[in-house]
Amino acid sequence: SGYKEPYRPQFHFSPAKNWINDPVGLLHHNGIYHLYYQYNPGGIEWGNMSWGHATSHDLTHWDEQPIALLARGFPENVTEMFFTGSAVADVNNTSGFGVDGKIPLVAVYTSSYQVTQTLPSGKEVKANQQSQSVAYSLDDGVTWTTYDEGNPVIHNPPAPYQQQYENFRDPFLVWHEQTNKWILVTALSELHKLVLWTSDNLKDWKVLSQFGPFNGVGGVWECPNLFPLDLDNDKSKTKWIMAVGLNPGGPPGTVGSGTQYFIGSFDGEKFTPDDESVYPGNKTSNWMDWGPDYYATTSFNGLPSTDHTVIGWMNNWQYGTKIPVYPWHGAMAAPRRLSLKTINQKPTLIQQPNEAWKSIQRQGEHSSSWNTFNQGNKDLGSVGKTLDVELEFSASGASEFGIIVQATSDWKQQTIIGYNFEEKKIFVDRTKSGDVSFDETFASVYHAPLIPNSDGTVRLRILVDWSSIEVFGGEGEATLTAQIFPSRNATFARLFSHGGDTKNVQLGVRKVSSTWN
Ligand code: FRU
Encode pLDDT of 384-434 as tens digits: 999 999 999 999 999 999 999 999 999 999 999 999 999 999 999 999 999
End-of-domain residue from the set 326, 342, 366: 326
Global pTM reads 0.98
What is the separation, in whole angstroms, between the first and last Cα of the chain?
11
CA atoms within 13 A of residue 446's CA, in its CB half-sphere:
30
Q: How far apart are CA 132 and CA 173, in angstroms?
A: 12
Assess if residue 7 is contained within a domain.
no
Contact yes or no for 337/479 (Cβ under 8 A):
no
Q: Count the domains in the chain.
A: 2
Assess if residue 331 is contained within a domain.
no
Are residues 396 and 305 both part of a single domain? no
Assess if residue 499 is contained within a domain.
yes
Assess if residue 44 is contained within a domain.
yes
Give the single-character DSSP code of 317: T
Does 1 score more than 70 pLDDT? no
Percent with pLDDT over 90 in the chain: 97
User: Domain holding 193: CATH number?
Assistant: 2.115.10.20
Are residues 318 and 387 both part of a single domain? no
Are residues 150 and 215 both part of a single domain? yes
Assess if residue 263 is contained within a domain.
yes
Assess if residue 192 is contained within a domain.
yes
User: Could you give the angle at the alpha carbon of 299 between the alpha carbons of 237 and 246, nearest 5°?
Assistant: 100
Ligand 1 atom with minimal separation from the 222 CA = 9
Q: How confident is the model at residue 280 (pLDDT cuts 50, 70, 90)?
A: confident
Nearest to 22 by CA among 35, 4, 12: 35
Does 239 score more than 80 pLDDT? yes
Contact yes or no for 329/19 (Cβ under 8 A):
yes
Q: How far apart are CA 400 and CA 425, in angstroms?
A: 10
Q: Which 3 state secondary structure label does DSSP give 307?
A: helix
Are residues 254 and 386 both part of a single domain? no
Catalytic residue among 22, 90, 429, 465: 22
Which residue is closest in CA terms to ligand 1's atom 8? 222
End-of-domain residue from the set 303, 326, 349: 326
pLDDT tens by residue, 325-350: 999 999 999 999 999 999 989 999 99
| Secondary structure element (H or E) that encloses residue 227, with its range | strand 220-230
Q: What's the whole-number mean pLDDT along residues 227-234? A: 97
Contact yes or no for 473/480 (Cβ under 8 A):
yes
User: Which backbone phi and psi does 117 adopt, to 5 degrees?
Assistant: -160, 160
Ligand 1: centre distance to CA 174 (Å): 19
Are residues 436 and 300 both part of a single domain? no
Ligand 1 atom with minimal separation from the 170 CA = 10
Residue 241: which domain range? 18-326
Are residues 396 and 249 both part of a single domain? no
Are residues 316 and 379 both part of a single domain? no
End-of-domain residue from the set 326, 341, 376: 326
Assess if residue 12 is contained within a domain.
no
User: Domain holding 460: CATH number?
Assistant: 2.60.120.560
Ligand 1: centre distance to CA 202 (Å): 22
Does 495 score more than 90 pLDDT? yes
| Secondary structure element (H or E) that encloses residue 35, with its range | strand 32-39
CA atoms within 13 A of residue 270's CA, in its CB half-sphere:
6
Other CB atoms within 10 Å distance of the CB of residue 209 = 16
Instruction: Mark whether 90 is an active-site residue.
Output: no
Q: How confident is the model at residue 363 (pLDDT cuts 50, 70, 90)?
A: confident
Give the single-character DSSP code of 452: P
Q: How far apart are CA 347 and CA 234, in angstroms?
A: 12
Does 364 score more than 90 pLDDT? no
Mutate to test the pocket of ligand 1, among 50, 130, 222 (most ligand atoms within 8 A of CB): 222
Does 90 score more than 80 pLDDT? yes
Are residues 435 and 314 both part of a single domain? no
Length of the chain: 517
Q: How far apart are CA 503 and CA 396, in angstroms?
A: 6
Assess if residue 10 is contained within a domain.
no
Are residues 33 and 84 both part of a single domain? yes
Which residues have any ligand 1 atom within 6 Å of their CB? 21-22, 38, 49, 83-84, 110, 169-170, 222-223, 296
Are residues 143 and 60 both part of a single domain? yes
Are residues 322 and 365 both part of a single domain? no
Are residues 25 and 144 both part of a single domain? yes
pLDDT tens by residue, 30-58: 999 999 999 999 999 999 999 999 999 99
What is the predicted ipTM?
0.98
Nearest to 430 by CA among 312, 252, 249, 292: 292
3-state secondary structure labels for all residues of 103-167: CCEEEEEEEEECCCEECCCCCEECCCCEEEEEEEECCCCCCCEECCCCCCCECCCCCCCHHHCCC
